[in-house]
Amino acid sequence: MNFSTLLIRKKPDIEGLAARKDIAGLVKALRYNDVDVQSRIADILGSLGTEATDELVRALKNKDKNTRLGIIEALTQIKDPRAVPALMKTLKDESSEVRWETAIALGEIGEQKAIEPLIYALKDHDKYVRYGAAFALAKIGWKPADDEQKAFYFAGMQEWKAVELIGKSAIPALSHILNDRDSNVRQKVIEILGEIGDPAATPALVRSLGDANSEVRWKAVLSSQRCGIRPIHLPRGLSRRPKMTKNPLIAGVLNFMIPGMGYAYIGKWWGLMIYEVDIATTIWIFKYWGETNTYSTLFPIYLLLAVHAYYIPKKMLEPPI
């Protein structure tokens, strides 16, 4: 992005551009950071019909996310099958919003050859993309070929009851969705695994015992009981969870070298205050008493602070499991 455009961005003259059918200008204007303006432009681009397809598809390579979103929205309205190959590429875009929007567009255009990539998008790690892909597939009139695809489809639709009814063959799909970053989704998946209650879910449940989220861990304990995992193995699975404990040695050394920073490292808000006070005091003692006195007065204090900071993390209670 050009730096000067960032500073002097005027509201684009949309109606003028629309009257001139200036597609390049309209695409450029999509960068203007106002949702109303952007969706108005997408509407206009969409109303231009199939003659705009080629230029819009070319512009899909744009680096700006908002521009890509606007173009895909327009292509959704145009419904030109020629756009499908390009959209199949943006289904692997780095932005999850673009992937979601693409899935919706492919559903609206309704080309059969989009089915393959959409099935792949059902396995996306973002729930919005999965939701969009499932809807698009339904719109195209696709029917799942086997139970695993069916499981991915209903999971994408958020119809958990239907996933549960599939039973054991839904487990691979559910294990895959456990990679979702949203802990609510992970909790839901674990609940369903418990409802299905098949030992095949063991690896997924054992992995979730070490989840970063405490509710996911607890649900994994409850569900594992319904899948026949012997409870005696659970505590060690749980001990794998990421722990946020601070290293006492780092706190101590930091507090000696840069008094106050050790406290800040442990997460005490007043650490930086002590740091400031130390700097001010050092300057004053230095000015009035000279160098030797500064060090001989302050070093013993630093040592005490270091020892104190060393013992705080040692005594900090571990968060509940």
> What is each CA distance from 177 to 136, 174, 196, in whole angstroms?
19, 5, 16
Residue from the set 159, 236, 296, 297 that interacts with another protein by CB under 8 A = 236
Place of tokens 């487990």: 171
- Minimum distance, C-beta of residue 248 to another protein, in the bound complex (Å): 14
Q: Is 7 in the site for another protein (CB under 8 A)?
A: no
Residue from the set 221, 266, 306, 312 that interacts with another protein by CB under 8 A = 221
Q: Is 316 in the site for another protein (CB under 8 A)?
A: no
Q: Whole-angstrom Cα distance, residue 10 to residue 33?
A: 10
Q: Is 119 in the site for another protein (CB under 8 A)?
A: no
Q: Is 304 in the site for another protein (CB under 8 A)?
A: no
- Minimum distance, C-beta of residue 270 to another protein, in the bound complex (Å): 7
Q: Is 199 in the site for another protein (CB under 8 A)?
A: no
* Stretch of residues binding another protein (CB under 8 A), selected from 26-34, 107-115, 172-180, 220-228: 220-228
Q: Are 195 and 226 in contact (CB under 8 A)?
A: yes
Q: Closer to another protein by CB, 24 or 273: give it.
A: 273
DSSP helix/strand/coil, 178: coil
Dihedral in degrees, nearest 10, Cα atoms 124, 129, 133, 139: 170
* Stretch of residues binding another protein (CB under 8 A), selected from 55-63, 80-88, 212-220, 302-310: 212-220
DSSP helix/strand/coil, 135: helix
Q: Closer to another protein by CB, 82 or 246: give it.
A: 246
Task: Count helices and strands (H / E) in the chain.
Answer: 21, 0
Q: Whole-angstrom Cα distance, residue 129 to residue 90?
A: 12
Site mask, another protein, residues 253-272, x = CB under 8 A? ----------------xx-x
Residue from the set 6, 279, 301, 303 that interacts with another protein by CB under 8 A = 279
Q: Which sign, positive or negative, has the C-alpha torsion 209, 213, 218, 222? A: negative
Q: 129 is written with which tokens? A: 């993309």
Single out the residue of 238, 223, 227, 178 nearest to residue 200, CA to CA.
227
Q: Is 238 in the site for another protein (CB under 8 A)?
A: yes
* Stretch of residues binding another protein (CB under 8 A), selected from 44-52, 131-139, 187-195, 211-219: 211-219
Q: Whole-angstrom Cα distance, residue 260 to residue 265?
A: 9
- Minimum distance, C-beta of residue 320 to another protein, in the bound complex (Å): 5
Q: Is 315 in the site for another protein (CB under 8 A)?
A: no
Which amino acid is present at 231? P
Binding residues vs another protein (CB under 8 A): 210, 214-215, 218, 221-222, 225, 231-236, 238-240, 269-270, 272-273, 276-277, 279-280, 283-284, 318, 320-321
